[in-house]
Amino acid sequence: MDTLQKTIDAWLEQLPRLLFANLLDKKLRAQGIKLSRQKREQLADTILVDKLETFEFDDGNKNSRKRKISISFTDSDIRYLERKSQKFLDQFPALIHQITEKQSKSLLRSLKRKWPTESRAQRRDLDSFRKRLQDRWGDGLGKLRMLITIAREYGSETNNVIGRTDGQKSKKAFDILIKLHARSCQVAEEILCLLSNGFADGAMARWRTLHEIAAVGYLLQRHGDELAERYQHHEVIESRKAAIQYQRHQRRLGQRPLSDNTLRKIEADRASALALYGPHFANPQGWASKHLGKSNPSIADIQEGAGIDYLAPYYRMASHNVHANPKGVFFTLGLVRGSNTLLAGPSNAGLADPGHVTALSLVQMSSLLLTFCPTLDNQIAMRVMHALADEVGTSLLAAHTKLKADDRAFRRNARQRGARRKSPRVSQVAR
C-alpha cells in the first residue's frame, strides 16, 4: 500500500538534483551544447559529487572534439534554484491532493471489483472459525444462552403478575427495576453475541454496563420508591448536559440548533429538580447522593452501596477496553498469555471470564425481582438460574484450561520444528 509514498519520497529526494540538471542544461545550451536528459543528469551527478569546475565528457557525437568547459554559478543562479524550489513547494500540496484523489478513486473501484471474491473467502474463514469456537466453548455458551432465555421469561412472567396486582408496594421501584431487568437481558444477549463470534474483550467491556445495571438495581430494591423517584427525575439533569453539549457542536455536526422554547423547558425542569432535591442532585450520580450520604457519589460508591463491589477487579478489567488507557493496549483477553500477536479481529481465547461474570450479574439482577413476587414458581426459577450460572462458570473454565494446555503443546511442537529446521520460532496466532 506504500508504493505511491515510496515513489513520491524518491522523487522528492531527487528534486535538488533535477533542478540542478535543468540549470546545467541552460548553461550548456548557452555554449552550444545539447545533451540528452540521461547524459545531462549523469553530468549533473558527476559535478555534484566531485564538485568539478572543468571536466571532460563525451556528447556521443563521433565527429566532435574534446573541449574544456568552464561553468560558474552566480548568486543569480542560486536565486533561480531557490525560486524553482519554492514554486514547486507551493504547488506540491495541490499536486498531492490531485494524486491522492485520483489514486483513491482508482483504488476504490479496484477494491469493489475484487470484494465479492474476498467477501466469500472471509465468510468461509469466519464460518470455519466459528465452528472451531463452538467446538471448544459451545457447552458453556449454550448454557449461558439457556440462562438468558430463562431470565427473560422469568422477567416477563413477573411483570405480568405484578401488573395484575392492585396496591403493589414500592410500585415505582418495581417499574424501574423491571425496565432495568429487561435491559440486562438485552445486554446479556449482546455479550453472548460477542462471545459467540470471538470478541472476549468486547464482551468484557459490555459486561461493565451489565454490572452497573445490577448495582443500580440493588440500591433501588433496597431503598424503594423514594430513591426510585430520584433516579427517574435525574433524567432531566442528563438531558440538560446533553443539550448543552449538542448546542456547542451542532454547527460542526451539520445539525439544527435546539429551539429557545426547548432550551427554556430543559432549564426549567432542571431548576425544579434542584429545588426539590437540593444542589447535589446536579452531579453525575446525584440521584444517589442522599441515600449514600455523599454529595458527589461515584459509580464505585454505588457498587459499594449495592454490596457487589467484590466484583470491582473484574469491573476494572472491563474498563481497560472501554477507555483508551495503556492497560487496554497491552493486555488482551483474546490472546493466550505470552503471545506476541497483535490481535485485530476475533480470537478463540479469553471467553471464560466475561461469560461467567455475565451469568452472575444476570442472576443478581433477576434475584431482585423475587422480593416483589416471591411465589414458589419464582423461587424454583431462581434456584435453577443459580445452578445454571455455576455450570456456565464450570464449563467455560474447563474450556479455558484445555485451551491453555493445547497452546502449550502447540508452542512446544513449534519450537521442536523450529529447532529441526533452524528457523525462527513460530508465533502464536488466534486460532
Q: pLDDT tens digit string along 64-85?
A: 556 666 667 777 877 877 888 8
Provide the mean pLDDT of the chain: 87
Closest-CA residue to 358 (of 172, 127, 196, 204): 204
The predicted structure's pLDDT at residue 60: 58
Same domain, 15 and 151: no
Sign of the CA dihedral 260, 265, 268, 270? negative
Lowest mean pLDDT: which of 81-95, 106-120, 402-416?
Answer: 81-95
The predicted structure's pLDDT at residue 387: 97
- Region of 19 (left: φ > 0; alpha: ψ -120 to 50; beta: rest) is alpha
66 vs 43: CA distance, rounded Å: 15
Quick one: average pLDDT of 146-151? 98
134 vs 157: CA distance, rounded Å: 31
Same domain, 196 and 51: no
Largest CA distance in the chain: 118
| Among 113, 143, 165, residue at a domain's last position | 113
Q: pLDDT tens digit string along 312-363?
A: 999 998 888 787 778 777 778 888 876 777 888 999 999 999 999 999 999 9
Same domain, 263 and 331: yes
| In-domain check, residue 12 | yes
More confident residue, 17 or 208: 208
**Distances from the Cα of 387 to the Cα of 147, 218, 390, 393, 400, angstroms:** 10, 21, 5, 10, 20
Same domain, 158 and 88: no
331 vs 58: CA distance, rounded Å: 66
Q: What are the grid coordinates assigned to 92, written together?
A: 506540491
The predicted structure's pLDDT at residue 427: 36
Block residue for cell numbers 433524567: 235
Assign 265 to helix, strand or coil.
Answer: helix
332 vs 338: CA distance, rounded Å: 11
* Percent of the chain clearing pLDDT 70 (strictly above): 89
Same domain, 263 and 404: yes
| In-domain check, residue 427 | no
Quick one: average pLDDT of 395-402? 96
| In-domain check, residue 417 | yes
| In-domain check, residue 154 | yes
275 vs 240: CA distance, rounded Å: 16
Same domain, 151 and 205: yes
| In-domain check, residue 54 | yes
Block residue for cell numbers 514554486: 87
| Among 62, 86, 113, residue at a domain's last position | 113
Closest-CA residue to 336 (of 430, 235, 207, 220): 430
Closest-CA residue to 9 (of 105, 110, 92): 92
Q: What is the pTM of this model?
A: 0.79
Same domain, 138 and 60: no
Same domain, 232 and 101: no
Same domain, 329 and 381: yes
| Among 58, 90, 113, residue at a domain's last position | 113
**Based on the structure, what is the number of domains in the chain?**
2
Same domain, 41 and 148: no
Residue 384 in contact with residue 150, Cβ under 8 Å?
Answer: yes
Residue 99, C-beta contacts closer than 8 angstroms, at least 6 positions apart = 4, 8
Same domain, 259 and 171: yes
Residue 35 in contact with residue 59, Cβ under 8 Å?
Answer: yes
Q: Is the pLDDT of residue 295 over 60?
A: yes
Look up the domain containing 258 and give its range.
128-421
| In-domain check, residue 336 | yes
∠ at Cα 219 (213, 220), nearest 5°? 85
Same domain, 186 and 96: no
Q: What are the grid coordinates assigned to 371, written together?
A: 422480593
